[in-house]
Copies of this chain bind each other. A is one copy, B any other.
Amino acid sequence: MITCDFCCLSAEDRKWLLYENEYWLVFFADKQDYPGRCIVAARAHRESLAQLTQTEWLSLKDITDALEQLLKAELGATLLNWSCLMNDAYKAAEPQPHVHFHVRPRYSSPITVDGVSLSDDAFGHHYNNRREDKMDPADRERLYQLLKQKVGLYFKK
């Protein structure tokens, strides 16, 4: 039985989709502990990076480039922290890991974008996986809408 979260996306999950193509889905993360945090997930069920096809890998390059440009240009991110871990899947008795990347923008100094304050009190240090998500739901929605409107400037049609 398929219980993989990325193969069984809910309407709530899909609500935060920023971009999709034939191979990848880019979401505005539910947890905005690092403002602008996104998740890049393979459309097909691939259990590790080695299972990605050459075509998927080439498309991932387009995605990483576009997302970096989007988050730097529109949110003022200084750099992005990329990670592909998939540890959580292994908590299950029958693990079904699905390739996805966590993308955490990091900010060298506080910035305000469309009225939303973006700050990073540990810039220059490893992200804190247990950092509290302090973003107001309305701010999350505002930031998502702002990015969604700009996606077409950076991502391929």
Q: Is A57 an interface residue (CB 8 A)?
A: yes
Q: Is A64 an interface residue (CB 8 A)?
A: yes
Q: Interface residues of A: mostly helix, strand, loop or mixed?
A: mixed
Q: Is A134 an interface residue (CB 8 A)?
A: no
Q: Contact at B57–A78, with CB atoms within 8 Å?
A: no
Q: Is A54 an interface residue (CB 8 A)?
A: yes
Closest CB-CB distance, A75 to chain B, in whole Å? 15
Q: Contact at A50–B68, with CB atoms within 8 Å?
A: yes
Q: Is A52 an interface residue (CB 8 A)?
A: yes
Residues of B within 8 A of A114 (CB): none
Q: Contact at B50–A88, with CB atoms within 8 Å?
A: no
Q: Contact at A127–B48, with CB atoms within 8 Å?
A: no
Residues of B within 8 A of A57 (CB): 57-58, 61
Q: Contact at A86–B79, with CB atoms within 8 Å?
A: yes
By size class, the interface of chain A is: 20 to 34
17 new A-B contacts, CB < 8 A, other than A49-B68, A49-B80, are A48-B68, A49-B64, A49-B82, A50-B69, A54-B61, A57-B57, A58-B58, A78-B90, A79-B97, A81-B86, A82-B83, A82-B85, A83-B83, A87-B106, A87-B124, A87-B127, A90-B108
A20-67 interface with B by 8 A CB criterion: 48-50, 52, 54, 57-58, 61, 64-65
Q: Is A129 an interface residue (CB 8 A)?
A: yes
Q: Is A126 an interface residue (CB 8 A)?
A: yes
Q: Contact at B88–A124, with CB atoms within 8 Å?
A: yes
Residues of B within 8 A of A90 (CB): 78-79, 106, 108, 123-124
